[in-house]
Amino acid sequence: MPAEGRIAARVAALRAEIAGHNHRYYVLDAPSVSDAEFDALMRELEALEREHPELVTPDSPTQRVGGAPASTFAEVRHLTPMLSLANAFDEAEFREFDRRARERLDVADIDYVAETKLDGLAISLSYVDGRLERAATRGDGTVGEDVTANVRTLRSVPLSLRLERPPALVEIRGEIYMSWRGFERLNAEQTARGEKTFVNPRNAAAGSLRQLDPKVTATRPLGIFCYAVGSVQGAELPATHYEMLGWLREAGLPVSGETRVAAGIESCLAYYRDIGARRPQLAYAIDGVVFKVNRLDWQRDLGQVARAPRWAIAFKFPPEEARTRVLAIDVQVGRTGQLTPVARLEPVFVGGATVTNATLHNADEIRRKDVRVGDTVIVRRAGDVIPEVVQVVTEQRPADSVPYEMPSEVPEQLLRQRVQALIHFASRRAMNIEGLGDRIVEQLVRAGLVETAADLYRLSLPQLLELERMGEKLGQNLLDSIDRSRATTLPRFLFALGIREVGEATAAQLAAHFGSLDALLQADRAALEAVPDVGPVCAASVQAYFEGAENLANVRALAEAGVHWPDLPRDSGAKPLAGMTTVITGTLRTLSRDEAKSRLQNLGVKVAGSVSKKTTFVVVGADPGSKAEAAQALGVPMLDDDALERLLADPAALPVILEATRS
Ligand code: JCF
């Protein structure tokens, strides 16, 4: 083969290989090469195309981001109009849709194709002889905007269909969306650049696609799912919608993995409930599910009314965002002392509940969003997450409104809440800061020396000496005991945070179960509920706590201040000490009795109230009661603090530890 031919063949091979890797990475979600290997292929192709510009074709992967910024988007007429969907807002409306369709078709049952309804924007892709020719927005359904240059930058959109014999022409319909993760990443970047953030993934996707410069779109994390075919020439379509989706998949287009055949209305309802339950865990925003009659001949028989087909319906979920008015802004204090502004709202039904309060996070957030009393705002409540004010509808702002200012003087009620939170934090069963009593906490807070728990660890002697009735000796003792409290245990730390529903025993269970704070932070609702004694309310509270940015900042600040603890082995669920019985008496040095109790229980030990011959061992702290005497009398082994700690760290060592008590 002459050199020219060899090069052309290599270019073609590289393109096919790169397209294959893109497909596996972006569509199948199963990459087969490393990023470095992929980059090497791209670089080789770029170099060959630079040397041989005559070989460049529009469907080369090097040509995804190209062309100069446009000044407008041209109009595009869809060959087949892009339909919209009729909505059902409750089960009765959905049953009515099904009943009518069955009646018109005169059949007893209909097989539907069920899929999620993405909250993005509709797009039509035209492939001519298998090559992506045009991408257009829905527009009014008949005429849309040409966004080809932007859509080409999506790596999940094949520039050529992966078909041996592609149709002469095919219009493919889908939804362009942004995942939650992409949306959050983009907003973080926007904030870092001092640019405005997007309210929701749909707006972010729409804003990203309507960029005049495709180079900007190329940086945006957009995805696409295809769900229908418009016009087609030069190919036979299969007989059912579901098979048609399979054909789209074979052609290399992304199709939602949540697509199912649902035989009859009860299966549809089960699908609706299942997706509804998993909605908070989905990677992208959806606002409902779509049901389509599976048989394409039945779709034709049913036809359409206005712009909506009679063979499909969107069964909506309750909206997670709604508009309402801010009646007042109050400031609250968390148990760790941080201030949280809260918007009092005109009651509004959102996310399946009536919402009257929404968090505004902190003073910076209020300033950034410029939320004012009297404003109309968009509030969001997703799953069990605390409702938040997302954005102000500035067009509806009253003329006389003024920017909100956080009270500069901390209100009395807040001071008292801070004091309470800190007293709890320092208490004996929490961080056990000796000498940090109610009176000193109150003095520290009122003097403005301490707001949050982490501030305690930054106190200096001169600062303490500012306080009334504080001398050098007392001050130094206090600093020493604050310093000692840095070395703590995970259960104490969790208890000290003051998370609602997390008492001492629950803190011990959480610590024993997850072993480390990191593991706890990663736990989802189900993982939390799997912990003994943790019910749905407690799990929700723990999750809400660690989703609060201020709370996380507080936890981080404490760690940075040097608060630390040994991680524990993660509870595997195994009960190495099942069948053993113990009794705990006296005061333990490092663990409270509740904590010792739940940790022993996690190992399978039964904790009883009185000593008998059946007691395996007795845990004896300082100033033990008559139970120690009973143990002595019955010859039951007694473990002190150290022995208990060794046992908790290594349950398999029990025989050795018991042996040691005899000597
Ligand atoms: O995911 C969507 N937003 C979506 C929109 C899915 C569909 O199957 C659709 C649609 C709009 C119209 N089907 C039609 C006919």
Segment 54-77, tens digit of pLDDT = 999 988 999 998 777 888 899 999
pLDDT digits (tens, 9 = 90+) for 445-503: 988 899 899 999 999 999 999 888 899 999 999 999 999 999 999 999 999 999 999 99
Take atom 2 of ligand 1 and give the residue whose Cα is closest: 117
640 closest CA partner among 579, 571, 594, 587:
587
617, two tokens: 């061992």
Distance CA 636, CA 622 (A): 18
Q: Which of 316, 339, 358 is the endpoint of a domain?
A: 316
What's the gap in Å between 228 CA and the centre of ligand 1? 8
Same-domain pairing of 326 and 472: no
pLDDT mean over 244-263: 96
Binned at pLDDT 50, 70 and 90, residue 417 comes out as: confident
- The 3-state DSSP class for residue 267 equals helix
Same-domain pairing of 235 and 364: no
157, two tokens: 């959109």
User: Which atom of ligand 1 lies at the shortest distance from residue 84's CA?
Assistant: 12
338 closest CA partner among 354, 368, 360, 353:
360
Distance CA 116, CA 138 (A): 19
- The 3-state DSSP class for residue 359 equals strand
Is residue 75 domain-resident?
A: no
What's the gap in Å between 290 CA and the centre of ligand 1? 7
| pTM exceeds 0.95, yes or no | no
CATH of residue 364's domain is: 2.40.50.140
Q: Which of 316, 344, 377 is the endpoint of a domain?
A: 316
The confidence score (pLDDT) of residue 495 equals: 95
Q: Tokens 């959050």 correspond to what residue?
A: 184
CATH of residue 174's domain is: 3.30.470.30
Take atom 7 of ligand 1 and give the residue whose Cα is closest: 227
pLDDT digits (tens, 9 = 90+) for 19-61: 999 999 988 888 888 889 999 999 999 999 999 999 999 889 9
pLDDT digits (tens, 9 = 90+) for 330-358: 887 655 556 788 999 999 988 878 899 99
| pLDDT exceeds 60 at position 163 | yes
The confidence score (pLDDT) of residue 337 equals: 57
Take atom 11 of ligand 1 and give the residue whose Cα is closest: 84
Same-domain pairing of 114 and 185: yes
Same-domain pairing of 189 and 309: yes
440, two tokens: 């000193």
The confidence score (pLDDT) of residue 455 equals: 94
Same-domain pairing of 250 and 291: yes
What's the gap in Å between 365 CA and the centre of ligand 1? 35
Strand partners of residue 135: 125
pLDDT mean over 387-414: 87
pLDDT digits (tens, 9 = 90+) for 556-587: 999 999 999 988 777 766 788 988 999 999 99
| pLDDT exceeds 60 at position 443 | yes
The Cβ of residue 293 has, within 10 Å, a number of other Cβ atoms equal to: 25
Is residue 634 domain-resident?
A: yes
**Domain of residue 515, residue span:** 490-560
Same-domain pairing of 497 and 476: no
Number of domains in the chain: 6
Residues serving a catalytic function are 117
Take atom 8 of ligand 1 and give the residue whose Cα is closest: 227
pLDDT mean over 420-443: 94
Is residue 569 domain-resident?
A: no
The confidence score (pLDDT) of residue 631 equals: 92
| pLDDT exceeds 90 at position 180 | yes
Same-domain pairing of 31 and 57: yes
| pLDDT exceeds 90 at position 384 | no
CATH of residue 451's domain is: 1.10.150.20
Same-domain pairing of 442 and 391: no
The confidence score (pLDDT) of residue 660 equals: 87
Q: Which of 297, 316, 335 is the endpoint of a domain?
A: 316
The confidence score (pLDDT) of residue 224 equals: 97
Same-domain pairing of 112 and 218: yes
281, two tokens: 């865990």
Is residue 572 domain-resident?
A: no
CATH of residue 614's domain is: 3.40.50.10190
Surface-to-core class of residue 532, CB atoms within 10 Å of its CB (0-12 exposed, 13-18 middle, 19+ buried): middle
How many CA atoms lie less than 13 Å away from 472 in the CB half-sphere?
0
542 closest CA partner among 561, 525, 519, 567:
525
DSSP code for 396: G
Higher pLDDT, 412 or 618: 618
What's the gap in Å between 472 CA and the centre of ligand 1? 73
336 closest CA partner among 568, 591, 560, 549:
549
Same-domain pairing of 329 and 425: no
Is residue 406 domain-resident?
A: no
Using alpha carbons, list the distances in angstroms from residue 287 to 115, 116, 223, 272, 628: 12, 8, 17, 11, 64
Q: Give residue ranges with CB within 6 A of ligand 1.
A: 83, 85, 115, 117-118, 122, 175, 227-228, 290, 312
Binned at pLDDT 50, 70 and 90, residue 649 comes out as: confident
Binned at pLDDT 50, 70 and 90, residue 601 comes out as: confident
Provide the residue count of the chain: 663
Q: Please state, for a pLDDT cut of 90, what percent of the chain lies above it.
A: 69
Is residue 308 domain-resident?
A: yes
The confidence score (pLDDT) of residue 557 equals: 92
What's the gap in Å between 257 CA and the centre of ligand 1? 15
Is residue 69 domain-resident?
A: no
Is residue 191 domain-resident?
A: yes
The answer to whether the CB of 425 falls within 8 A of the CB of 336 is: yes
Same-domain pairing of 193 and 245: yes
Take atom 12 of ligand 1 and give the residue whose Cα is closest: 84
Which of 140, 175, 178, 256 to probe ligand 1 with, by most ligand atoms within 8 A of CB? 175
Q: Tokens 């001169």 correspond to what residue?
A: 462
Same-domain pairing of 555 and 457: no
The answer to whether the CB of 602 falls within 8 A of the CB of 572 is: no
The answer to whether the CB of 620 falls within 8 A of the CB of 586 is: yes
CATH of residue 11's domain is: 1.10.287.610
Where does residue 338 fall: left (phi above 0), alpha (psi -120 to 50 degrees), or beta otherwise? beta
